Amino acid sequence: MPFDSGNPSPKSIRNFLNPKFQEYLEKYNLRYKFWKDAPNYWLLFFYEKKTESTVSNQILLVSKDGGVSFNRWRPTYNEKPLSVDKFFAAKSAVFGLSEVNQTFFYADKDLNIFFAQRYDENESIILSNFDLAYVIKIVVKEFDPLNKNRDKRILYMEISTKRMTKIIRLHISEMQGIMPKINKFYDYFYFHGNHYILAKKNPSMLCLYTLNQYNHLTQIVCNLSISDLEGDRCPVVFNPHLPGVIYANLKNWNDKTRSYISLDNGKSFKAIEYKLKNIECHDQCRIELDLKCSTASLQNQFPEPWIVKFRGKFHTKRSVSCHYFFSFDAGIKWIILNSNIKKMIIGNRGGLMFATQSTPGRIWYSYNEGWSWHFTYVYAHNIIFMEPLSYPDNLVITAINYDMRTNIYSLFLFNFSNVLSSLALMIDKTCKFNDFERWYVPRFYGDCFRGQDISYLKKEQFVMCYDNRKEVIASIKPCPCSIEDFQW
């Protein structure tokens, strides 16, 4: 089933329940969770309508075979029954929250509850984006409410994994100037072993903070774009493949938003630049990227360690235009596509770029990272979806076209294989070792950063071959640290 959590209609789940349990749907509301790395594990959570949650008015069913059969689960801790208000599925575990029992607990696949922590009022539970083995619990508490410090807060963060709980306490002296409430998903990020918190220093200044090795809250950068908190946008995103590489939208002195890149975990930021031919900027041109930080967006924006792809705006003195911006070196050099490109995807680990244009039926493709482009026409005037499908010996681009006049959807398959297709698009060679070059993660000072020299094997730009590697593994070598490696 395509859903992960939420509130399905009774009809959508009825077929997966035997008659013994279907009667629950008439009396109870239903929620459910699936274990992230075990899709056959289902947790169905029935709770009686229009009543507060208690042990007596809820029914928990667990399936370990993808909904073929269900067993009743009655969670207990220290021989006491637990009433559960919310569940949080994380990899091969599930976390539960009980307001009645004042408990936050962890259970494994066998439904054994290993530990329970005290429930805190107004706590926020956040699942990690990329390492789903743990959750973050953020709790905001009032500090000394009877005196002038009543608007201050203390932030508690708990990282729960297996049987271990690490508690990070941020004291009030470390919270000076931070807005009192941090409780939304985009306010916290965890990448490459680092904790990042997005918070306001004052009502008009948004800042990014991190926790150092002493668990002290340290400021990285301020003047982040507050308007990028709206919708699905973010003022900052982190490269999920490359430690220390950050992209941020910052406000300049004239309150204009401009995109920057950091290659040293925020110690310094450099403006992202691109010079168009025949356009005189005189320092008045700027790039403003549409940064998005959801899991799906990160996978789309960073398909490979060296590839970065964003939508965004290019501002000149007299105009603003929307484009695709992409880079094949993590953001050092950028390429901008023509503003009439509607959709663009990158396949073959960068060896194929495929785009649709606003001109009906015209598609573009490139084999050399956008250095040269070819185009052709197909009978598809409104492609609404494109996706590369990788197979063992070839690459297929699938596209869906919607004809608004006839209300008909059509499926197109563009096959890049060792057989010449009808569009004369061909990749007739599997990449060999000599077709690759070693690409080093860029830094502001050489290739070494914090004692690590990280590199990947990347297909050479002008070699036409099919990259059939199942995964791209980083090569990490030790290297001597320098003074620039230290954060502050």
Query: pLDDT for 349-369, tens place per residue?
Result: 998 899 998 888 888 888 899
Looking only at the bridges linking them, the beta strands covering 374-377 and 362-366 are antiparallel
Q: What is the pLDDT of residue 314?
A: 93
User: How many angstroms separate the CA atoms of 223 and 279, rounded?
Assistant: 29
CA distance 364 to 301: 20
Predicted confidence (pLDDT) per residue in 267-293, tens digit: 999 999 886 665 666 677 899 999 998
Query: Which SS3 state, helix, strand or coil, does residue 175 take?
Result: helix
What percentage of residues in the chain have a pLDDT greater than 70?
Answer: 65
Q: Using pLDDT thresholds of 50, 70 and 90, give the confidence band for residue 301.
A: very high
Instruction: Give the predicted TM-score (pTM) of the model.
Output: 0.69
| pLDDT band at residue 77 under the 50/70/90 scheme | confident
- The per-residue pLDDT for 50 is 52
Mean pLDDT of 64-83: 80
The C-alpha angle with vertex 134 and arms to 213 and 181, in degrees rounded to 5, equals 70
8-state DSSP, 428: -
Nearest Cα residue to 59 out of 91, 25, 36: 25
Residue 444 has pLDDT above 80, yes or no: yes
Cα pseudo-dihedral 452, 458, 460, 466, rounded to 10? 170
Q: What is the DSSP string of 65-119?
A: STTS--EEE--EETTEE---SEEEEETTEEEEEETTTTEEEEE-TT--EEEEEE-
What is the structure's pLDDT at 254? 82
Burial code (b: 16+ CB inside 10 Å, e: under 16) for 210-221 equals bbeeeeebeebb
Strand partners, 333: none
